[in-house]
Structure 1
Amino acid sequence: MQKIIRLLFLPLALLASSAALAIIGPDTLARNTTNEVIQIVKQDDDIRNGRASKIYSVVETKILPHFDFQRMTKLAVARNWNTATPEQQDRLVDEFRALLVRTYAASLSSVAEYKVDFKPLRMAAGDTDVVVNSEVSKPGAPPITIDYRMEKMSDAWKVYDVMVDGVSLVTVYRNSFNSEVRKGGIDGLIETLSRRNQRK
């Protein structure tokens, strides 16, 4: 399971921020900002060598602003979300976000090894929920199909799920989270996430 999760997070690390003031299309956002992050990593020896402070800086400034952590957490917690209090929901979002940050950071240094090819976007006028398809490859390895599920918010498009060769990020976590809730309730899930986030 950990191997699947790591594969799911690699493409997330490729999708970074854009300086554009206007709302740009989801496929353009993905393409332009993926190239931006790859260039940053290629040009920074510290990042490629795993320097934590620089890696986390890129994650915080270039990646996190483009994800809807509230929706991602709600989808991952699934039916148990409605049984949580507002305070528990806030804790779940915070802990899940922290968990994703740690995994993004662990994958970022290898981004420069990959080539990303974005496919033509299938999107009708007025669509606010789309899938951006891409294929990620590197020498000596078979290509991986990556689909970004994105929604249009008031100010930008946001990622709320990623599928790698058909495997959904939120579904992978949903199975794990459901198991934790069965064992210890919502507080048990929060405690489990907190422990994971405290590991060095």
Structure 2
Amino acid sequence: MNRRILIQWAACLLSAVSMAQLAPVALAADETPDAMIKRLSDDVLAAIKADKAIQAGDTNKLIALVDGKVMPSVNFQRMTAAAVGPAWRQATPEQQKRLQEEFKILLVRTYSGALAQVDDQTISTKPQRGAPTDTDVLVRTEIRGRGEPIQLDYRLEKVGSSWKIYNLNVLGVWLVETYRSQFASEINAKGIDGLIAALEQRNKSNAGKKSS
């Protein structure tokens, strides 16, 4: 797998949160972050392998799924703000709303392209570091399949009794930081509205490629 596919795979696993909620399982309020990630990872792999439409990259189905399920379990505002960087604080509430909408679509479209890569992979979670009282943690996992193991790490924060994902690391590259460097160039050239327009155009282009 090349780095682009690995970043796509990271975005794909981010949305395991949504697929995990398809099963009516009562989860303990004190679920540990590593147990949460293991459960979500197992659930997304099972969902992909069991659903022919998802395997074929049904983008409309994926978008509807994420719209209804992913937002309660991921701190998406924090992810978007971190990706946009300092300019987020200067953005109006309407601009922040548009940025979140377009960034979400970008990630959904990205991982939909990675679904075809999922085959015989399994997920292993590495031993959790830190104290049980920590509220900001790193969960390290490996994807094992036909090639070399792939490092995939998660940053999570505790909000109330729940853990929320706000960043992912693939082979040493943090997803949010990767987008931040891309977004900074657009903001410097054309401002926040320019970034929104660029994201909107990129999403339309991706949708066109998918439907062609």
Query: What is the one-letter code of the residue matched to 1:8?
Result: I
- Report the alpha carbon displacement of residue 165 of structure 1 after superposing the two structures with TM: 1.2
Q: Percent identity?
A: 41
In structure 2, C-alpha distance between the alignment counterparts of 1:175 and 1:161, rounded to whole Å: 15
Question: Does the 8 A contact of 2:10 with 2:169 survive in 1?
Answer: no
- Report the alpha carbon displacement of residue 110 of structure 1 after superposing the two structures with TM: 3.0
- Report the alpha carbon displacement of residue 98 of structure 1 after superposing the two structures with TM: 1.3
Question: Does the 8 A contact of 1:8 with 1:162 survive in 2?
Answer: no
Question: Does the 8 A contact of 1:88 with 1:186 survive in 2?
Answer: yes
Distance change >3 Å, CA 195–CA 163, structure 1 → 2: same
In structure 1, C-alpha distance between the alignment counterparts of 2:174 and 2:162, rounded to whole Å: 22
State how many pairs are aligned. Answer: 197
Question: Does the 8 A contact of 2:56 with 2:115 survive in 1?
Answer: no
Question: Does the 8 A contact of 1:5 with 1:172 survive in 2?
Answer: no
Q: Which runs of 5+ in 1 are unaligned?
A: none
In structure 1, C-alpha distance between the alignment counterparts of 2:94 and 2:160, rounded to whole Å: 25
Report whether the alignment pairs 1:164 with 2:191. Answer: no
In structure 2, C-alpha distance between the alignment counterparts of 1:28 and 1:101, rounded to whole Å: 24
> 1:194 is matched with which residue: 195, 200, 209?
200
- Report the alpha carbon displacement of residue 113 of structure 1 after superposing the two structures with TM: 2.8
- Report the alpha carbon displacement of residue 62 of structure 1 after superposing the two structures with TM: 5.7
TM-score of the pair, normalised by structure 1: 0.88
In structure 2, C-alpha distance between the alignment counterparts of 1:54 and 1:89, rounded to whole Å: 26
- Report the alpha carbon displacement of residue 86 of structure 1 after superposing the two structures with TM: 1.8
Query: What is the one-letter code of the residue matched to 2:194?
Result: G
Question: Does the 8 A contact of 1:13 with 1:63 survive in 2?
Answer: no
TM-score of the pair, normalised by structure 2: 0.83
Distance change >3 Å, CA 55–CA 90, structure 1 → 2: closer
Report whether the alignment pairs 1:75 with 2:82. Answer: yes
- Report the alpha carbon displacement of residue 189 of structure 1 after superposing the two structures with TM: 0.4
